[in-house]
Structure 1
Amino acid sequence: MDVTGLRVALFSGNYNYVRDGANQALNRIVGYLLRQGASVRVYSPTTDTPAFEPAGDLVSTPSVPVPGRGEYRIPYRMSGRVRRDLAKFAPNIVHVSSPDPLGHRALSWARRHDRPIVASVHTRFETYPRYYGLAFLEPVVEGILRRFYRRCDAIVAPSESMAQLLREQRMSYDVGIWTRGIDRNIFTPARRDPQWRRSLGIADDVPVIGFVGRLVMEKGLDVFSDAIDQLNLRQVRHRVLVVGDGPAREWFQSRLPDGVFAGFQQGPHLGRAVASMDMLFNPSVTETFGNVTLEAMACGLPTVAARATGSESLVTDGVTGRLVRPGAIGAFADALQAYCNDAQARADAGGASQAMVERFGWDQVNQALVDTYLRVIRQRERGARPHASPVP
């Protein structure tokens, strides 16, 4: 079989109703599959106000709003209508992208109908409880995730550091890489726009520390603002530029009263915003890859990031940026201060970053996942079945 014989049923908890790095990657793989002649059917919650048009055929699944985070929805079951549509589509592989109730039902359907299953890992769900005062639940969440992923034929992670973590957590014997690509027409130093910076009240010679992403606490907003407080106490000259929106925006603005909040940006406008920064500060530990880090590197920026999954696979400490122990406020401030005070250090790290991202083209990246689909199907045809990961 080649790619034209693929019939992929993709299950997602958020395919297009709120824009994020994970669902943009999913839409890109669907678009790539369709261009290569494969058949794809997507099953996900929908809303009347989607963030963007979906790639491929999207079937709406029953869902309810997430308590306290109503912009997100939980697909809580596989309805009879969805089951009939799935049976009619007759996939030869099932791809699940979220360990939610619909993902569990999709796994059960695939096992019952003897279809191979690939799961993609997009975020570190087990770390989320710590941001809501429930850190004691992390082992419980990790156990639920382990049960989910062990039922799959293979799982794919967006970075080698995340893949290694999944192996250490005993999630699966078969852990592959489906990394992320970059659009070099959008993310390039050529998008830097001094006039746009000036329109925001930022002088040409002031170093800009950037944050890019959805404004939610699990992105490390507390660590970011605490490190900026340190720079202010040290009287380090800088400005903060925040690109993104979300439910924690009001809190973040109160913590960064001198920050410039540019709101949600996309496409060329996002490229302009990122390229107009002087460094990216990404303190989050929840990402499995860190699309924003890759985008900043493509724009020629150094990155100061938490030493965590995702960032460790992208940032070379002391070369393309700095990696700092998660939560180490003083060390984050030291790294930011060094780049604020040394334009040549910023330029050197930015040049190294640009060179590093050359290998991240979307077609090459997505073909790796297609190869995984085909390999798993061949293994099933030879009689292979999912088996448990190593036990402690």
Structure 2
Amino acid sequence: MATAFKLPDPSGQTPAESRPLRVVLFSGNYNYVRDGANQALNRLVAFLEAQGCVVRVYSPTSDTPAFEPTGTLVSVPSFAFPGRGEYRVAFGLPDRLKRDIADFRPDIIHLSAPDPAAHAAKKLARALGVPVVASIHTRFETYFEYYGLGFIRPGIEVLLRRFYSGLDEIFVTSQSFGETMRDTGIIGVHPAVWSRGVDKTRFNPGRRSLEWRWSLGIADDEPVIGFVGRLVLEKGLDMVAAAVNELAARGIRHRLLIVGDGPAREHFQARVPGAIFTGFLDGTNLARAYASADMLLNPSTTETFGNINLEAMASGIPVVAARAGGNEALVTDGITGALVPPHETQAYADALARYCAEPHTRAAHGKAGLDAAQAFDWDVINGAVLSRYRELARQHS
């Protein structure tokens, strides 16, 4: 017989709108692999706790996490994803964790990955009478095409539609991405926008270092094309290789700077033998790498926002990105960078070639990107999420 879970008797409790909120967050990857989505979730938790909220995070964990988690992290049973062992998939939610959540008396439950544990948490929220929201951080349904499994995409989309139906709110990273999700039928409502911010004290043009470039064998007048991210196929690595190889075929002087690491590094490195690979960088080292490049190349079509675009803009360099996903919400074609039709090698090469040949154009577009990045403030963005939490908690109370 299934165990029934109920919140403790709420009589005598202070109304949710006049006390610190109690928030439960489910994450498919909170800190065992570093990526833009889990860093955004950690920032949200830090902000919530700074506002007096009490947060408990449930996620698969690892013995070798990528970084220390923010807040209280509770491990959820999980298994390594076949073929991508660095990622983990949560099982359903054991009764002991259901009791833990019920005893915590959450005011809201936030789901950030459509895994079995989050499906179970969605049902639990309904049983407890607690509002439940979800945030969409990546286009899961597109990933399988990069590994020869595109035939299962329709089935994945059916599961996603079921998961995102009947929620009290859905957060997306940009209005354009929300429209894409509606157009594909994965969500059936108008979502709220939970954008992303950028740390402008960390990412800024002042981090540029000629000395660092020299240490890598880069000449002062040599245009540097930067790529930043995990080295996985869904980041568009094959398009990066095709575009820079086309530049080489045209005889256009450039250097390719790769910042990041991942399971596809060996495959990628074989295709761009002249590239400089720094491996994983973080903190001021990462900021220095952005500012020391002359442009960013981001051909990924799976991004829902594109944190790397914003970090590059804050660093004062233009962005050449695929006209897809969240890229269009950040990059203004011909103003802060270039938006290119996905998978068109010649178009990428044309945009990169222009920036390589026209230092004044890349400087002007970099300056415009820097100005645009000033509007993206983490506290304002996360404050909007908290306001929506409070509104939903008030409605349910």
- TM-score bin, normalised by smaller chain: over 0.9
Residue 4 of structure 1: how far off its partner (Å): 4.2
Structure 2 residue identity aligned to 1:371: S
Q: Deviations over 1:98-143 (max 9, x none)?
A: 0011111111111121111110110011111211122233232222
Kept in 1, the 8 Å contact 2:102–2:128? The answer is: no
Kept in 2, the 8 Å contact 1:304–1:323? The answer is: yes
In structure 2, C-alpha distance between the alignment counterparts of 1:2 and 1:164, rounded to whole Å:
31
Structure 1 residue identity aligned to 2:343: G
1:361 aligns to what?
Answer: 377
Residue 375 of structure 1: how far off its partner (Å): 2.2
2:246 aligns to what?
Answer: 230
Residue 309 of structure 1: how far off its partner (Å): 1.4
Equivalent residue runs for 1:171-250 within 5 Å: 171-250=187-266
Seen in structure 2, the aligned counterparts of structure 1 residues 127 and 216 have a Cα distance that, compared at 3 Å, is same
Kept in 2, the 8 Å contact 1:107–1:151? The answer is: no
1:86 aligns to what?
Answer: 101
Secondary structure of residue in 1 paired with 2:329? helix
Secondary structure of residue in 2 paired with 1:5? coil
Q: Does 1:73 align with 2:88?
A: yes
1:350 aligns to what?
Answer: 366
Secondary structure of residue in 1 paired with 2:110? strand
Q: Does 1:42 align with 2:57?
A: yes
1:280 aligns to what?
Answer: 296
2:121 aligns to what?
Answer: 106
2:13 aligns to what?
Answer: none
Seen in structure 2, the aligned counterparts of structure 1 residues 4 and 334 have a Cα distance that, compared at 3 Å, is farther
In structure 1, C-alpha distance between the alignment counterparts of 2:264 and 2:41, rounded to whole Å:
26
Structure 2 residue identity aligned to 1:175: P
Secondary structure of residue in 2 paired with 1:209? strand
Equivalent residue runs for 1:247-326 within 5 Å: 247-326=263-342
Kept in 1, the 8 Å contact 2:318–2:362? The answer is: yes
Give the TM-score normalised by the residue count of structure 1.
Answer: 0.95
* Number of residue equivalences: 381
In structure 1, C-alpha distance between the alignment counterparts of 2:396 and 2:99, rounded to whole Å:
24
Unaligned regions of 5+ residues in structure 1, if any?
382-392
In structure 2, C-alpha distance between the alignment counterparts of 1:160 and 1:3, rounded to whole Å:
31
Q: Deviations over 1:27-79 (max 9, x none)?
A: 00000000100110000011111111111100001011111111111111212
Secondary structure of residue in 2 paired with 1:98? coil
Which stretch has the larger CA shift, 213-222 or 67-76?
Answer: 67-76
2:23 aligns to what?
Answer: 8
In structure 2, C-alpha distance between the alignment counterparts of 1:288 and 1:213, rounded to whole Å:
14
In structure 2, C-alpha distance between the alignment counterparts of 1:321 and 1:139, rounded to whole Å:
34
Give the TM-score normalised by the residue count of structure 2.
Answer: 0.94
Which stretch has the larger CA shift, 366-375 or 267-276?
Answer: 366-375
Kept in 1, the 8 Å contact 2:313–2:366? The answer is: yes
Which stretch has the larger CA shift, 157-166 or 187-196?
Answer: 157-166
Which stretch has the larger CA shift, 161-170 or 359-368?
Answer: 161-170
Residue 278 of structure 1: how far off its partner (Å): 0.3
In structure 2, C-alpha distance between the alignment counterparts of 1:221 and 1:247, rounded to whole Å:
12
Structure 2 residue identity aligned to 1:349: H
In structure 2, C-alpha distance between the alignment counterparts of 1:265 and 1:343, rounded to whole Å:
26
Instruction: Give the RMSD, CA atoms, in angstroms.
Output: 1.1
Residue 90 of structure 1: how far off its partner (Å): 1.3
Residue 174 of structure 1: how far off its partner (Å): 4.1
In structure 2, C-alpha distance between the alignment counterparts of 1:298 and 1:172, rounded to whole Å:
34
Seen in structure 2, the aligned counterparts of structure 1 residues 160 and 310 have a Cα distance that, compared at 3 Å, is same
Structure 1 residue identity aligned to 2:259: V
Unaligned regions of 5+ residues in structure 2, if any?
1-15
Identity %: 56
1:95 aligns to what?
Answer: 110
